[in-house]
Structure 1
């Protein structure tokens, strides 16, 4: 993991984009580590914010597209019973594609994206909402880093 992180740091903004895309998908990875290292090396915070947000949104949309490939019967075979699935559908149906905003949440964010894909939510609205949520998350990381560094 350290070697991969170092390679991605060496790639700069492109590496951060790839790290964020990996982290946004179903693969566990910490793009925040790459972001903080790049900021520590003097990279432009806005460039980092743009690369991380775009990459993480792309990774999140892969979860959405996985959902579009699935069928309710497949989800049931993964251990989710029809009652749980119906409750999730009811919860998501009232909120629609804007629930993509919460795609930045660990673990549950991927599930939200898959469910939006399964429900065939509008991909453009889902992607836009996901981009907004993920941008705010990375902005919080950048501002936290800058605030901590300013203390020393």
Structure 2
């Protein structure tokens, strides 16, 4: 591997702490795949409690970017969903989302419905950057609350390696 690429990866990923893995897990978990990033964040912080803010911010960035991918997927499949989505509950949910607008993306932190909500925001062609901003706020709030609660519920640190 080229030396410049190695230094770039070292700078961005901080591989000795596992932040790159945390970013990837958070990104994938924000897509429509069933994966949770909170256990990865919690495990990383149990091993490296001094990385609280970098880890929360890396997880938030990865999860927000994953939500943005969901938005683009929804934007791209708009014409396909129009063929099957005309039930009364579907129409009512779409009206609610249109009325609320990009602010609805703050609910992207919710389990089960949060990630599809990002895709629906794209499908409705809600403005991308305001949606991304509200996703960021919701996901940051989730990581702060979940991580703090887990660290409080399971105090203490793991023993040092080799000791």
What is the TM-score when the length of structure 1 is the normalising length?
0.84
| Match of residue 9 from structure 2 | none
CA distance in 2 between partners of 1:110 and 1:142 (Å): 19
CA distance in 2, matches of 1:60, 1:133: 11
The alpha carbon displacement at 1:86 in A equals 2.3
Instruction: Determine if the alignment matches structure 1 residue 95 to structure 2 residue 100.
Output: yes
- Is the Cα contact below 8 Å between 1:76 and 1:82 reproduced in 2? no
Distance 1:58 1:68, change over 3 A: same
Q: Is 2:127 the counterpart of 1:122?
A: yes
1:4 maps to: none
TM-score (norm 2): 0.79
Q: Gaps (5+ residues) in structure 1?
A: 1-8
CA offsets 1:109-130 (integer angstroms, 9 cap, x no match): 1221111101111111000000
> Whose Rg is larger?
2
CA RMSD, aligned part only?
2.1
Q: 1:10: Cα distance to partner?
A: 7.0
Contact 2:30 2:115 in 1 (8 A): yes
The secondary structure found in structure 1 opposite 2:33 is coil
Give the match for residue 65 of structure 1.
72
In the TM superposition, what are the counterparts of 1:34-113 in structure 2 within 5 Å?
34-43=40-49, 44-72=51-79, 74-77=80-83, 79-113=84-118
Shift of residue 71, structure 1, vs aligned partner: 2.3
Match of 1:3 in 2: none
Q: Secondary structure at the match of 1:95?
A: helix
Deviant stretches of 4+, over 4 Å: none
For 1:85, what is the secondary structure of its paired residue?
Answer: helix
1:106: how far off? 1.5
- Measure the CA separation in 2 of the matches of 1:36 and 1:151: 12
The structure whose residues are more often helix, as a share, is 1
